[in-house]
Chain A
Amino acid sequence: MSTPQTDPRYEEKLAEFEARIARGEKIEPDDWMPDEYRRQLIRLIHQHANSEVIGALPEGTWIPYAPTFKRKKALVAKVQDEVGHGLMLYRAAETLGKPREEMIEEMLAGKSKWSLVFAYPAETWADVAIIAWLIDGGAIVNQTIMATGSYAPYCRALKRIIYEESFHLKHGFDMVVTLAEGTKRQRDMLQDALNRWWEPIIMFFGPPDKLSVHTETLRRWGVKPKTNDEQRQIFLRKFVPQILDLGLTIPDPNLRYDEENDRWVYTEPDWDKFFDIIRGNGPMSKERLAVRRLAHEEGRWVREALEATGIARQLREAAVAAPTSSVVA
Chain B
Amino acid sequence: MSPKTWHFNPYHQRIDEAMQLMDEPPKADTEWILFEVFVREKRGEHPVHVGALHAPDPEMAIVLAKEQYLRRGDAVQLWVVPSACITATPIEEADIFMHTTDKSYREAYGYRVAERVRHLRGEEKHG
Contacts and interface: CB of A to CB of B under 8 A. Distances in A.
Interface of A: 28-32, 61, 64-65, 77, 80-81, 84, 87-88, 91, 100-101, 104-105, 108-110, 123-124, 156-157, 160, 164, 286-287, 289-291, 293-297, 300, 303-304, 306-307, 309, 311-312, 315-316, 318-319, 322-329
A312 B11 contact: no
Contacts of A323: 84
Nearest to A291: B11
B115 interface: no
Contact of B18 (A84, A100, A291, A326): A291
A124 B1 CA distance: 6
Contacts, number: 135
A312 B33 contact: yes
A325 B89 CA distance: 7
B84 A306 contact: no
Contact of B30 (A160, A304, A311): A304
A79 B6 CA distance: 18
A184 to B, nearest CB: 15
Contacts of B47: none
Contact of A294 (B17, B31, B56): B17
B56 A105 contact: no
Nearest to A289: B22
A293 B22 contact: yes
Interface centre among B6, B8, B22 (most CB of A within 10 A): B22
A26 B50 CA distance: 18
Interface in B66-98: 67-68, 71-72, 82-92
Chain B, interface size: which category? 35 or more
A329 B35 CA distance: 10
Interface of B: 1-3, 6, 8-9, 11-12, 14-15, 17-19, 21-22, 25-33, 36, 51-54, 56-58, 60, 67-68, 71-72, 82-92
Interface centre among A87, A290, A316 (most CB of B within 10 A): A290
Contacts of A108: 26
B84 A315 contact: yes
Interface centre among B15, B32, B72, B89 (most CB of A within 10 A): B32
A286 B19 contact: yes
A312 B19 contact: no
B85 A286 contact: no
Given A105-B29, A309-B56, 17 more contacts: A30-B90, A61-B9, A80-B71, A101-B31, A293-B18, A293-B22, A294-B14, A303-B56, A309-B57, A312-B31, A315-B33, A315-B84, A319-B33, A322-B84, A324-B87, A325-B89, A325-B90
Contacts of B51: 88, 91, 156-157, 160
11 contacts: A91-B51, A91-B53, A101-B28, A157-B51, A290-B22, A294-B21, A315-B57, A315-B82, A328-B36, A328-B83, A328-B88
B9 A84 contact: no
Contacts of B12: 61, 291
B60 A81 contact: no
A294 B52 CA distance: 27
Contact of B71 (A61, A64, A84): A84
Given A123-B2, A156-B51, A164-B72, A316 B9 contact: no
B34 to A, nearest CB: 8
B13 to A, nearest CB: 11
A109 B26 CA distance: 6
B15 to A, nearest CB: 6
Contacts of A81: 71
Nearest to B29: A101
